[in-house]
Amino acid sequence: MELFQIKRATDVMQAIESARRYPDNQPEGASTRFLAGGTTLLDLMKLDVERPTQVIDIHRLPLDRVEAIDGGGVTIGATMRNTDLANHPLIKAHYPVLSQALLSGASAQLRNMATTGGNLMQRTRCVYFRDTATPCNKREPGSGCSAIDGFNRNLAILGTSDHCIATNPSDMNVAMTALEATVHVESTQGKRSIAIDDFFLLPGTTPERETALNPGELITHVTLPAPTPGSRSVYLKLRDRASYEFALASAAVVATVSSGRIEHIRIALGGVGVKPWRSREAEASLLGRAPDATTFQAAAEVALRLARPQSQNGFKVELAMRCLQHTLKLATQTA
């Protein structure tokens, strides 16, 4: 770990003003990172993957609340702890898929520290990204992707490129994608809102750029729209062991069934994509259809149609299809 300066922010404007003085994306210059729970950032700093010159501690900022929005929906502060968010009455009652996703992630100790904003910024668990002795385009652009010809069992099959096949590891992000969340950020240039599906970027030829955030922008909160009346939502995670493990495949589904037909459907997949994977094609194939095994199988095939498995993760195609089919069955069951 290299030497760095740490500052404690007392308000949002102070935090972003401090970040402005240390512009990001300057390999030989200064850079800054915001610190809340630190469950990812501190690990990466110890491994020399992240080398910020300045760390701004934001965990005491008043961004740790869940509040109802007039007309429906909720706002979730960026420093809200995962445990508190998963167990909040508004989330459990109206967005169970998010509560389920959060409680399936990591350990209780980590959930007690991890935050909403930090989870949105969570970086891949690809072993080559975390090992500075090996080439990684995400860590060092232009150096190559060791995973393509190396250990890739846990990596992505959707949205990959010849430059990167790393997965987004978050459970929360998958549920947020199915719920069509909006990420709100602030900088010295003002405020802006980013639809979550636009927040995460495909690797393409620039895998080092993972999100739509600009240098110096701070996530302040996330908003969720009002739940569709009569909808059910479910998160299902498949992994090598029952706890403290990342998904090999997961699915978040929000569905409404009326008169024996699927009236509203949102699908997001995890563990298989370079970003939380929204499948609009699968959603379109389900609208107006009866919720049965044949319909679900056809939708799963559509969702995985563009999969590009690597040498060791071809099993993820069938695993993700089965995961999605079962989640669709659970989400469309009538009480």
Q: What is the pLDDT of residue 1?
A: 66
Q: What is the pLDDT of residue 199?
A: 98
Residues linked to residue 237 through DSSP beta bridges, in sequence order: 250
Q: What is the pLDDT of residue 208?
A: 97
Q: Which CATH class is domain 5-57?
A: alpha beta
Instruction: Look at residue 28 and tell me whether its pLDDT is greater than 90.
Output: no
> Cβ(154)–Cβ(313) under 8 Å?
yes
Indicate the length of the chain as a whole number: 335
Interval 93-131: pLDDT, tens: 999 999 999 999 988 999 999 999 999 999 999 999 999
Percent of the chain whose predicted confidence (pLDDT) is above 70: 96
Interval 55-86: pLDDT, tens: 999 999 999 999 999 989 999 999 999 999 99
Who contacts 254 (Cβ-Cβ below 8 Å, separation ≥6)? 97, 178, 179, 227, 228, 231, 232, 233, 264, 265, 266, 331
Q: What is the pLDDT of residue 106?
A: 86
Could you tell me if residue 204 is left (phi over 0), alpha (psi between -120 and 50 degrees) or otherwise beta? left
Interval 131-186: pLDDT, tens: 999 999 999 999 999 999 999 999 999 999 999 999 999 999 999 999 999 999 99
Q: What is the pLDDT of residue 217?
A: 95
Instruction: Look at residue 239 and tell me whether its pLDDT is greater than 60.
Output: yes
Interval 186-214: pLDDT, tens: 999 999 999 999 999 999 999 999 999 99
Q: Which CATH class is domain 232-331?
A: alpha beta
Question: Token pair of 277, please?
Answer: 């994977």
Q: What is the pLDDT of residue 71?
A: 87
pLDDT band for position 30 (cuts 50, 70, 90): low
Question: What's the first-to-final CA gap in the chain, in angstroms?
Answer: 54
Who contacts 185 (Cβ-Cβ below 8 Å, separation ≥6)? 191, 192, 193, 194, 213, 217, 218, 219, 220
SS (H, E, C) the chain: CCCCEEEECCCHHHHHHHHHCCCCCCCCCCCEEEECCCCCHHHHHHCCCCCCCEEEECCCCCCCCEEECCCCCEEEECCCEHHHHHCCHHHHHHCHHHHHHHHCCCCHHHHCCCEHHHHHCCCCCCCCCCCCCCCECCCCCCCCECCCCCCCCCCCCECCECCECCCCCCCHHHHHHHCCCEEEEEECCEEEEEEHHHHECCCCCCCCCCECCCCCCEEEEEEECCCCCCCEEEEEEECCCCCCCCCCEEEEEEEEEECCEEEEEEEEEECCECCCEECHHHHHHHCCCCCCHHHHHHHHHHHCCCCCCCCCCCHHHHHHHHHHHHHHHHHCCCC
Domain boundaries, the chain: 5-57, 232-331
What is the rounded average pLDDT of the residues 281-293?
98
Interval 293-334: pLDDT, tens: 999 999 999 999 999 999 999 999 999 999 999 999 999 997
| CA separation for the pair 69, 163 (Å, rounded) | 41
Mean pLDDT computed over every residue of the chain: 95
Q: What is the pLDDT of residue 143?
A: 98
R_g of the chain, CA atoms, integer Å? 20
pLDDT band for position 234 (cuts 50, 70, 90): very high
Who contacts 220 (Cβ-Cβ below 8 Å, separation ≥6)? 12, 63, 77, 78, 184, 185, 186, 191
pLDDT band for position 24 (cuts 50, 70, 90): very low
pLDDT band for position 243 (cuts 50, 70, 90): confident
